[in-house]
């Protein structure tokens, strides 16, 4: 769930389920999101998804006001040639409103980058199972930040909370170039390795000098 998702209407049903205030959660997710984007840029995207931490992709939208590219980690599920994500706490998140203004988006899934087109899912029979699949794949986030586990709610209870209209389908169109894909900072590992080797070599040389 992204930090932008915590821009809520006062006393909304979704906000009432939060363990912390929306402001505190926004600050927390601001830090978490930067960390997750950095992990993808370092080439670690394929290794950080698991049942506990959840399965996360990075969604890139175009700011509806600034025109700048905005990267947001979100929980997701996969389909045939498409991926799905949700605005965890309503329809007022910045990334959600960005893709409504411009549905052309990029996604980083594991070690791959894709260009796609987003659309909000409106067919209840279609989006409800996908919503549950995303929540199932969200790991500890299903309960860590809310007083209730969304995965345990009935369809009627989920709809009453106002989750309808928060699920997004992204149809994948073409792969991104290497420069646009995750792992653009993976060269830093070689630099780090070189520095560590140089440090070891210098230390070894000094130890030999002391023994003479």
CA distance 180 to 188: 17
3-state SS assignment for residue 72 = strand
**One digit per residue, pLDDT tens: the chain, 212 residues?**
443 333 334 446 767 777 677 677 777 888 889 999 999 999 999 998 888 889 999 999 999 999 999 999 999 999 999 999 998 767 878 899 999 999 999 999 999 999 999 999 999 999 999 999 999 999 888 877 888 888 888 999 888 888 888 899 999 999 999 999 999 999 999 999 999 989 898 887 887 777 66
Name the DSSP class of 181. S
Say whether domain 3-181 belongs to CATH 1.10.1740.10.
no
Q: Is the dihedral of CA 122, 51, 59, 117 positive or negative?
A: negative
How much is the pLDDT for 117? 98
Closest listed residue to residue 57, CA positions, set 109, 94, 113? 109
CA distance 157 to 150: 9
Contact indicator for 106, 37 with CB cutoff of 8 Å? no
Q: Enter the tokens of residue 85.
A: 């994500």
Q: What share of the chain is helix, strand, coil (3-state, %, to 5)?
A: 40, 25, 35
Question: What are the structural domain ranges in the chain?
Answer: 3-181, 184-212
How much is the pLDDT for 2? 40
CA distance 122 to 7: 22
Three-state secondary structure of 143-168: HHCECCCHHHCCHHHHHHHCCCCCEE
């Amino acid at each position: 769930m992204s930090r932008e998702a915590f821009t809520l209407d006062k006393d909304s049903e979704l906000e009432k389920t939060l363990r912390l205030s929306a402001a505190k959660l926004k600050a927390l997710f601001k830090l978490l999101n930067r960390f997750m984007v950095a992990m993808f840029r370092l080439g670690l995207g394929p290794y950080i998804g698991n049942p506990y931490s959840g399965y996360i992709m990075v969604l890139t939208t175009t700011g509806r006001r600034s025109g700048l590219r905005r990267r947001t980690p979100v929980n997701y599920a996969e389909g045939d040639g498409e991926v799905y994500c949700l605005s965890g706490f309503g329809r007022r998140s910045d990334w959600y409103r960005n893709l409504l203004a411009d549905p052309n988006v990029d996604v980083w899934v594991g070690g791959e980058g894709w260009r796609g087109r987003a659309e909000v899912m409106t067919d209840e029979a279609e989006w409800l199972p996908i919503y549950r699949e995303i929540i199932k794949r969200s790991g500890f986030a299903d309960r860590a930040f809310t007083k209730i586990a969304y995965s345990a709610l009935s369809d009627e209870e989920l709809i009453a909370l106002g989750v309808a209209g928060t699920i997004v389908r992204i149809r994948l169109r073409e792969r991104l170039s290497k420069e646009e894909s995750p792992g653009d900072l993976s060269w830093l590992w070689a630099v780090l390795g070189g520095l560590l080797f140089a440090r070891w070599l210098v230390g070894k040389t000094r130890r030999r000098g002391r023994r003479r």
